[in-house]
Structure 1
Amino acid sequence: MVVRFLPVGGPERKAPVPPRDNLAEVVELRSRLVPEETPDAEPAPDLGDPREQAMRRLARSAQSVTEIERFLRGKGHQPEAIEPVVREFLDRGYLDDLALAKAQTGILRERKRMSTRIIERTLNERGIPREFIGIALAEFDPEGDDEDRVLREAARDRARKMGSLDRATAERRLIAFLARRGFGGSSVRDIAREALDEAAR
C-alpha cells in the first residue's frame, strides 16, 4: 500500500506562474548579449593596372582605340578607369586609328592582295572609323582603278604555285583562292585562266 502525504495547507497547489509581460524584455536583452553574426564583405577583386595592361597589349601588336577599350573591358575595368588611359595614349600617339588604317591597308593590299571589300570589312571589325578607312584606301588607290591590278597580281602569284596540279583542279582552286580575298564577278575566271596560261609558259 502506498501512502501519499499532502502538503500542509490543503490540497496540492501549483506554483504561481510569473506574469509574461517581461518576456519581450528578456529576449531583447539576450539579443544584445549575443550579437548577430554577419557575413564578412568580400574584398573587391584586384583587376590590375589598366595602363600597364594596355601597354603590354600594344607591345605585342598595334591596336585601335576600340580594340583597347574592348580589351580593358574584358579585364573587368569600368569606363571611368578606361577613359583616362585612352586619352593619355591618344595624346602620346600610342593610339592612332588613321595611321593604323593606312598601315593595315598597305599590308592587306600590297602583301596579301586583298580586295577593297575585304579591307573595308577587316578594318571595320577592328573598330576603325569609316572616315579613316576611306582616307587609307584613297591613299593606296588614288584613281580608284587599282582593284584590277591587285586581282591580276594575286592570280599570277598563286598560279605559280600550282604547277603540280592538273588544269581543272588548278583553275578551281585558284578561283576559290581569289574569292576568299574578296574578288568576284565574271572577270575572275578569265583572269585565273590567263594567270595559269602564263605560269605554264
Structure 2
Amino acid sequence: MHINDAALRYLSSRSRTVFEMKKQLSQKGFAEEEINSLISEFKDCGYLDDLRYCQEYFHYAFGKGKGKRLVLNELREKGVDQADIDIAFEEYDLEVDEVGRAREEAAKVLRMAGIEDGQPVPEKIIGRIARKLQSKGYSSDTIYSIIGDMRR
C-alpha cells in the first residue's frame, strides 16, 4: 500500500493530529523520511492542522459535558503542542462557561434522581453529582461551587 493511500484512509473517518498520523504510519512500517514528507504535504494542503483539530475537539468534548482539565489532558495525549492548545482555548474561551456546563451535568443527575428545583438534595445524590463532575474533568473549585449551592 502506498503511504498516501494509508494516510487518506486513516483520515477518512475523522480528523487526526500530526502525532496520531505519524504514529499510525510508523506502525504501518513506513520510513520516517517518507512520513515527514507526507506530513509536510498534508499540512500544506490543510489535511492536518492541530490548531483546527483543537477547536473542533473543544466543541465536541465540551458539548459532551466534559470539563476543561479532562479535555486539555486528552489533547496532550493526542500529541497536540501546548501552544496550539493555548491558542485554540483562548479563542474558544470567550464562549465557554465551565460552571454553566457543570450545572447542566448536575441537573441531569437531579432529573434522573427525580429531584425537582427547590427540593432539598440528599447527601447521597450530592456525592453522585460530585463523582460525575470529577469523572468529567471539572476542577475542584467548580465542583465545590456547585455542591455549595445545592447545600444552601
For residue 93 of structure 1, what is the amino acid of its counterpart? Answer: G
CA separation in 2, counterparts of 1:84 and 1:116? 34
Task: Give the letter aligned to residue 74 of structure 2.
Answer: T
Equivalent residue, structure 2, for 1:140:
92
1:147–1:161 Cα change, 3 Å: same
Give 1:194 shift.
5.0
The equivalent residue for 2:129 is 174
TM-score normalized by structure 2?
Answer: 0.83
Structure 1 stretch displaced more, 151-160 or 124-133: 151-160
Question: Which stretch of structure 1 is more off in the superposition, 145-154 or 183-192?
Answer: 183-192
Question: What is aligned with 1:62?
Answer: 15
The one-letter code of the counterpart of 1:68 is: M
Task: Look up the match of 2:105.
Answer: 154
Larger Rg: 1
Tell me, in whole angstroms, the C-alpha distance in 1 between the residues paired with 2:12 and 2:142. Answer: 42
SS in 2 for 1:154: helix
1:189 Cα offset (Å): 4.8
Q: Is the 8 A contact 1:65 1:95 kept in 2?
A: yes
Greater length-normalized contact order (CA 8 Å, ≥ 6 residues apart): 2
Q: Is the 8 A contact 1:152 1:195 kept in 2?
A: no
1:96 and 2:49 correspond = yes
Q: Residue by residue, what CA displacement relative to the aligned partner does 1:33-74 show, whole Å, maximum 9, x if unpaired?
A: xxxxxxxxxxxxxxx211101100100111011100000011
Q: Which residue of 1 aligns with 2:65?
A: 113
Residues 116/92 of structure 1: CA separation in 2 closer, same or farther (3 Å cut): same
Deviations 1:165-186 (A, max 9, x none): x944432222111001122436
Give distance in 1, aligned partners of 2:71 and 2:20. Answer: 17
The Cα shift of 1:195 comes to 6.2
Q: Which whole-Å deviations, capped at 9, do the CAs of 1:91-115 have from their partners, x for residues lacking one?
A: 1111111111001011112x12222
What runs of 5+ residues in structure 2 fail to find an aligned partner? Answer: 116-120
Q: Percent identity?
A: 28
TM-score normalised by the chain length of structure 1: 0.64
Letter in 2 for 1:174: I
Gaps of 5+ in 1: 1-47
Alpha-carbon distance, 1:146 to partner: 2.7
- Check whether the contact 1:171–1:193 (CA below 8 A) recurs between aligned residues: no
Q: Say which structure is richer in helix.
A: 2
Contact 1:97 1:132 in 2 (8 A): yes
The farther-off stretch of 182-191 and 128-137 is 182-191
Q: What RMSD over aligned residues (CA atoms) do the two structures have, in Å?
A: 2.6
Aligned length: 147
Provide the secondary structure at the position in 2 that maps to 1:160. helix
